[in-house]
Structure 1
Amino acid sequence: MCTRRAARVYRSPGGQTSSVWSPKLRSLVVLGLGVLIGAGILLWESWDVNWTPHRNENEGDTRAGQQIRPKPLSSSRVRELVGAISLERMWSSFLRPMLIERSPGGHGNLQVRELISGHLLSLTARWTVEFDLFDALTPRGTLPFGSVIATLDPKSPRRLVFACHLDSKWFPLDGKGRPFIGATDSAVPCSLILEAVTALDARLRQLKDKGSPLTLQLFFLDGEEAFGDWTETDSLYGARHLAERLHAEPGPGGAANKLDAIDLFVLLDLLGAPEPLILSHFSETRGHFMRLFSLEKRLHGLGLLDAHRLDNPYFRPDLYFGPVEDDHVPFLRRGVPVLHVISTPFPAVWHTHDDTEENLHRPTVTNLCRIFVAFLAETLAL
């Protein structure tokens, strides 16, 4: 049985090695780490969140890029945006249909791809949707994979990417005859993205119509999970394939390639359990993480978060763990700046047949969606 990401070592593009501890060990040391580095966090509270050029460690080039200049939201605008979110729509139209076995090559995997693409094509923002289809050799033989890529405005020279994985890990049925469906891993992240762009549909259409240089792109990646032990060849099938493909394709607006057009890659994973602990894993995107932290506090102050404790926030800038291997790695290695939104330690139901709807925490799912909607609206200046 694979222990994905639970006890791995990640080597960064610069050659430094960081330990990725097991969830249990993380839990034991979390308070100690917070005390050790907490004093330095105050410096970040007033940090300028404008995007700065970043360097591709593999190729040695410096990306000038355009700066992401978030536009602060008024309180009335925040309330208006949050009011457009529908928990019932997210739960019934997106989440529940995804709570099926959806390992690569199976009928459920294809069904989820069709759900995602069909819904995006139905929105008034007129998304351009394509599939990254390929076959790959796995420990279970050669299997078909298919990621869904949706771009709001393909003509825009810069991209803000929101990503998650659509597949579920393959496990045999448990003693109760249940398949593994991966509610937090990663049906909830997929549903959060779909609900966010649905709630923002009219504003995204306006953004596209005015020809903004920064557009939104969505990656629903297939084949994140390993079929055996987690290795560089048995994991991240869809992310590896897509990163290689985008690196080889000419970019919009004079960008060297389509990866070079990505200003920020936001990856969601392992969300939906109560009291998530979400940390900043990369200093380069620390400013964007601090915006999530600040938006959480602001929405709490406006009374827009349910069953939420301000003394136990989701986003914690005062703690740090080493990076976790996930779908961002093939992009990070090619110089794409990454904001990894993942619960660490992992949810207690991680890679068990109890990762089901019954063990999700509805207020947390709703609150995260509200935070992400506000983050998107700020970042894209909607």
Structure 2
Amino acid sequence: MSCYSENEFCVNHIFQLYELVYMKIIAISKIYIIHLKKNHRTQQLSNSEIRYVAGLSNVKYTNEVLNNILIPRVVGTPNHEKVFQYIKKELQNLGWNTDIDEFENNTPIFGRLKFRNIIATLNPNADRYLVLACHYDSKYFEKEVFVGATDSAVPCAMLLNLAKELKNELGQLKDNRNLNLKLVFFDGEEAFHQWGPNDSIYGAKHLAEVYGSTVSSIKSGESVSELEKMDMLVLLDLIGHRGTKFLSHFSQTEKWFIRLAEIEDNLSSLGLMKKPKNQRYFVRRASHSYIEDDHIPFMQRDVPILHLISTPFPNEWHTPQDDRSIIDMNTVEDINNILRVFLMEYLHIYLKDKSEEIFMEKEL
């Protein structure tokens, strides 16, 4: 049996009240972030601004990136190290803060291997992030050479292209603590032997776990996890062949998928797309198929997912024919055009002065 004196009771009661108030403040803070993410609205670009953004095309750089990464790049090989160093260096040269999520894991065939996710941010102290991601490793084949052009060298090249061609515009985000952009290059997406829960998406599983347990303070002074800072994970995969098309895989992000489809329509009406008019990339149709990819561990932790994966998969998927010969640069540039406009809208990048000036020059 135990009892409290009057003073002991008061002190204990005060601590309990303090703890209750503290927990309510944290809950309100998280509700506030959820509210901001759920009710986020894009800015509307004028036609002249869209023309300006569409003009930020650089096929030469995309090809340069592919020249460096379109090689077999199985985790643990010298080629994989080469591609890792190239992507990291390019991001650093473009002024991004680059972090490496490094860990080891047991694998079939090769035993214990080192994996490294590459995470790039413009402001690592932001409260919220729009996250664009892809994987940079390639699948292992014992007797065949596999370079994985659509899977996923082209998506890697697209993200680096966005970072380079929007360098000046995205530079506005370096001082923005409210909403920012994050690029993630996952390692170890491919299975070494047979796809399953213990042999696939090594990097994504590790980063999702790390982000779930990594807590930092937001501008209000409260603490949230890195997962809670993610507005949405936009995952790119199997992109670049002539028949690339996307379906909406998640109702939670359907409004953003529809916005991408609307941007495609706007660009087409302005004559800024290279594709035939009867062809579509973003098809306004929901898919009920379950596709396992790097998004799974984030989806399981309630992160909204926008999965930009060609549906159906290209015929060359997981064959040696998924090489440079099937890459259609018009398709790659068209989709990058759509993503450039989407980023400017979602992140509220200011373009007015530049776009009007360039548009006037084009009209002269």
Report TM bin, short chain.
0.7 to 0.9
Identify which of 313, 319, 323 aligns with 1:352.
319
Equivalent in the alignment of 2:62: 90
Per-residue CA deviations over 1:70-109 (Å, capped at 9, x if unaligned) read 11111111111121220111111x1121111111111111
Contact 1:161–1:216 (8 Å) recurs in 2: yes
Aligned residues of 1:131 and 1:147 also touching (Cα < 8 A): yes
Does 2:184 align with 1:219?
yes
1-side partners of 2:345 and 2:101: how far apart? 30
Matched residue of 2:318: which SS? coil
**Range moving further from structure 2, 291-300 or 63-72:** 63-72
Tell me, yes or no, if the aligned pair for 2:123 and 2:173 is still in contact at 8 Å: no
Q: Is the 1:251–1:261 contact (alpha carbons within 8 Å) kept by the matching residues of 2?
A: no
Structure 2 SS opposite 1:256:
strand
1:252 Cα offset (Å): 4.1
Alpha carbons of structure 1 residues 255 and 70: separation in structure 2 relative to 1, 3 Å: farther
Structure 1 residue 277 displacement after superposition: 2.2
Aligned equivalents of 1:232 and 1:351: distance in 2? 19
CA contact (8 A) 2:122 2:173 kept: no
Q: 1:80 aligns with which of 52, 75, 92?
A: 52
What is the aligned partner in structure 2 of residue 144 from structure 1? Answer: 114
Size of the alignment, in residue pairs? 314
User: 2:116 & 2:156 partners in 1: Cα distance?
Assistant: 15
Determine the structure 2 residue equivalent to 1:208: 174
User: SS of the residue aligned with 1:220?
Assistant: strand
Specify the alignment match of 1:246 in structure 2. Answer: 211
TM-score (norm 1): 0.79
In structure 1, what is the equivalent of residue 148 of structure 2? 182
Amino acid at match of 1:106: T
Which residue of the partner structure matches residue 14 of structure 1? none
TM-score, length-scaled by structure 2: 0.83
What displacement does 1:207 show? Answer: 2.5
| Partner Cα separation in structure 1 for residue 53 and residue 308 of structure 2 | 21
| Alignment CA distance shift 1:183-1:248 (3 Å) | same
Structure 1 Cα separation of the partners of residues 173 and 202 of structure 2: 32
Distance 1:220 1:300 in 2: 30
Q: Encode CA deviations 1:253-288: one digit per residue, 9 max, x unaligned.
A: 035210000011100000001121200000000000
Q: Partner of 1:271 in structure 2?
A: 239
Residue 140 of structure 2 is aligned with which of 167, 170, 181? 170
CA distance in 2, matches of 1:316, 1:265: 20
Q: Deviations over 1:158-179 (max 9, x none)?
A: 01000000000011243xxxx2
Shift in Å, 1:144 = 1.1
Cα gap change, 1:278 to 1:333, in 2 (>3 Å): same
Q: What does 1:222-241 align with in structure 2 at a 5 Å threshold?
A: 222-241=187-206
Question: Aligned pair in 2 of structure 1 residues 335, 282: CA closer, same or farther (>3 Å)?
Answer: same
Compared with structure 1, are the counterparts of its residues 114 and 68 closer, same or farther at alpha carbon in structure 2 (3 Å cutoff)? farther
Match of 1:191 in 2: 157
Matched, 1:127 2:90: no
Higher relative contact order (CA 8 A, sep 6+): 1
Superposed, 1:319-338 pairs within 5 Å as 319-338=286-305
* C-alpha contact (below 8 Å) 2:248/2:285 kept by paired residues: no
Cross-structure match for 2:76: 105
Superposed displacement of residue 361, structure 1 = 1.0
Q: How far apart are 1:232 and its partner, in Å?
A: 0.7
Q: Does 1:302 align with 2:273?
A: no
Q: Does 1:371 align with 2:356?
A: no
Partner of 1:39: none
**Structure-1 separation of matches of 2:273 and 2:235:** 22
Distance in 2 of aligned mates of 1:62 and 1:325? 28
Structure 1 vs Structure 2 CA RMSD? 1.7
Give the secondary-structure state (helix, strand or coil) at the position aligned to 2:198. coil
Q: How does 1:27-46 map to 2 (within 5 A)?
A: none
Amino acid at match of 1:111: K
Greater helix percent: which structure? 2
**Residue type of the partner of 2:270?**
L
The yes-or-no answer on 1:317 pairing with 2:317 is no
Measured after TM superposition, the shift of residue 68 of structure 1 is 2.5
Identical amino acids, percent of aligned pairs: 41
Q: Is the 8 A contact 1:151 1:218 kept in 2?
A: yes
Q: Which residue of 1 aligns with 2:251?
A: 283
Does the CA-based 8 Å contact 1:255-1:261 persist in structure 2? Answer: no
My pick for the range that moved more, 260-269 or 103-112, is 103-112
Provide the rounded CA distance (Å) in 1 between the counterparts of 2:286 and 2:295: 21
Quote the Cα distance in structure 2 between the aligned partners of 1:217 and 1:379. 13
Q: Secondary structure at the match of 1:271?
A: coil
1:46 is matched with which residue? none
User: Runs ≥4 in structure 1, deviation > 6 angstroms?
Assistant: none
| Counterpart-to-counterpart distance in 2, 1:107 and 1:65 | 44
Distance in 1, Cα, partners of 2:40 & 2:69: 33
Gaps of 5+ in 2: 1-31, 350-364
Please report how far the alpha carbon of residue 120 of structure 1 lies from its aligned counterpart in structure 2 after TM superposition: 1.1
